[in-house]
């Protein structure tokens, strides 16, 4: 889910807008792969990212004139951590850290977006989190398969390793889902890592997309790809490409405090939203999934 910076790099390597002549460039991109610094369990370590960023910036500012020429205003960085360039997975601590000062004037491309938040600069670009397109494509089932699951979710409800008292993780929203609907037959919810996860999403009418430590998650992209109506539970979330994608027409937005009413809210809604045909993707069109581009188009370093 944090691999957006890798796929942004791959995408730009094969992009027709890339130039090898810095004098022609309007923007400068610095790949640094901070989310590849992982724990043994495969989770990113955001705590070392500021040091990595400072090291990368020192390199580019001392070897080339472009960083200092505009005081970094024409440079952009991809920061797909939980709270972007605030570099912490817990919101309270991320807010305390704030955006790394060296990045304040740069453009930040990030998966995190929340209205009026210190970790989202004006001018930052919110992009979709990474979800593996080849893996999703490999698990497609026939389009006419009945949607026999009403509400679907797989994931944590409590993070006992990092939130011993409960309630802080996901601001209690996931815990509320579990406590209110664990025995409701309309809700197929579990912490199990199902081997049929992608197939099940294609059999579901509604897919829950609640906040976790961060307000965003790849479930939004997965739900969209598989035609499951996303139920977005994250107050004040800034969604990817919100100026181009009519999210209000596509998904269902439920306030965190209204989670106990989820059954009433969802059973009162049509299971097929009245979408205008213009909002659907055209054949071969890719908006929310990350692709690397044709291998033959890759330009040399």
Cβ neighbours, 10 Å, residue 269: 13
Contact 205, 149 (CB under 8 A): yes
Tokens 């006992």 — which residue? 160
Go through the chain and tell me how many residues it has: 301
Tokens 């990045």 — which residue? 103
Contact 269, 262 (CB under 8 A): no
- Phi, psi of 244, rounded to the nearest 5 degrees: -120, -25
User: What is the DSSP-derived secondary structure letter of residue 278?
Assistant: G
HSE-CB of 252 using CA atoms within 13 angstroms: 29
Q: What pLDDT score was predicted for residue 291?
A: 57
> What are the tokens at 49?
């990212």
> Is the model's pLDDT at 222 over the cut of 90?
yes
**Whole-model pTM?**
0.87
Nearest in space to 219 (alpha carbons), one of 295, 128, 134, 87? 128
Contact 126, 112 (CB under 8 A): yes
Any idea of the CA torsion for 113, 117, 118, 119, to the nearest 10 degrees? -10
Contact 217, 156 (CB under 8 A): no
> What are the tokens at 105?
């004037």
Q: How confident is the model at residue 301 (pLDDT cuts 50, 70, 90)?
A: very low
- Looking at the chain, which runs of residues are DSSP E strands? 28-29, 75-78, 107-110, 125-126, 149-154, 187-190, 204-210, 229-233, 252-253
Any idea of the CA torsion for 94, 100, 101, 106, to the nearest 10 degrees? -120
> Is the model's pLDDT at 296 over the cut of 70?
no
Q: What pLDDT score was predicted for residue 249?
A: 86
User: pLDDT exceeding 70 applies to what percent of the chain?
Assistant: 89
**CA-CA distance, 72 to 22, in Å (whole number)?**
14
Contact 119, 96 (CB under 8 A): no
Backbone angle region of 170, left / alpha / beta, with phi > 0 → left and psi within -120 to 50 → alpha: left
Q: What pLDDT score was predicted for residue 221?
A: 92
Close Cβ partners of 97 (under 8 Å, ≥ 6 residues apart): 86, 87, 88
pLDDT in tens, 228-257: 999 999 999 999 988 888 898 889 999 999
**CA-CA distance, 64 to 67, in Å (whole number)?**
7
> Is the model's pLDDT at 179 over the cut of 60?
yes
pLDDT in tens, 76-97: 999 999 999 999 999 999 999 9
Choice among 68-77, 140-149, 160-169, 219-228 with the minimum mean pLDDT: 160-169
Choice among 3-12, 20-29, 145-154, 213-222 with the minimum mean pLDDT: 3-12
Q: What pLDDT score was predicted for residue 292?
A: 52
**CA-CA distance, 222 to 193, in Å (whole number)?**
15
């Amino acid at each position: 889910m944090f691999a957006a910076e890798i796929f942004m790099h791959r995408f730009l390597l094969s992009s027709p807008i890339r130039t090898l002549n810095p004098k022609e460039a309007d923007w400068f991109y610095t790949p640094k792969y901070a989310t590849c610094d992982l724990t043994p369990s495969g989770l990113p370590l955001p705590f070392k990212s500021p040091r990595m960023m400072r090291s990368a910036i020192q390199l580019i500012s001392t070897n080339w004139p472009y960083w200092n020429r505009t005081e970094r205003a024409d440079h952009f960085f991809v920061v797909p951590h939980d709270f972007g360039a605030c570099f912490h997975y817990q919101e309270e601590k991320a807010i305390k850290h704030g955006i790394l000062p060296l990045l304040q004037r740069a453009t930040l491309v990030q998966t995190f977006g929340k209205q009026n938040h210190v970790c989202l600069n004006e001018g930052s670009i919110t992009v979709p989190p990474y979800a593996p397109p080849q893996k999703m494509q490999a698990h497609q089932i026939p389009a006419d398969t009945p949607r026999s699951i009403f509400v679907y979710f797989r994931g944590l409800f409590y993070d006992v390793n990092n939130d011993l008292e409960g309630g802080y993780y996901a601001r209690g929203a996931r815990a509320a889902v579990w406590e209110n609907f664990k025995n409701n037959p309309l809700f197929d919810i579990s912490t199990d890592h199902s081997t049929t996860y992608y197939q099940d999403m294609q059999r579901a009418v509604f897919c829950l997309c609640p906040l976790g430590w961060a307000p965003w998650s790849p479930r939004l992209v997965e739900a969209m790809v598989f035609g499951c109506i996303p139920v977005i539970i994250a107050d004040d979330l800034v969604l990817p490409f919100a100026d181009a994608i009519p999210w209000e027409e596509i998904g269902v937005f439920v306030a965190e405090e209204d989670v106990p009413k989820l059954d009433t809210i969802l059973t009162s809604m049509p299971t097929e939203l009245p979408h205008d045909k213009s909002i659907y993707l055209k054949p071969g069109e890719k908006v929310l999934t990350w692709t690397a581009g044709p291998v033959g188009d890759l330009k040399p370093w």
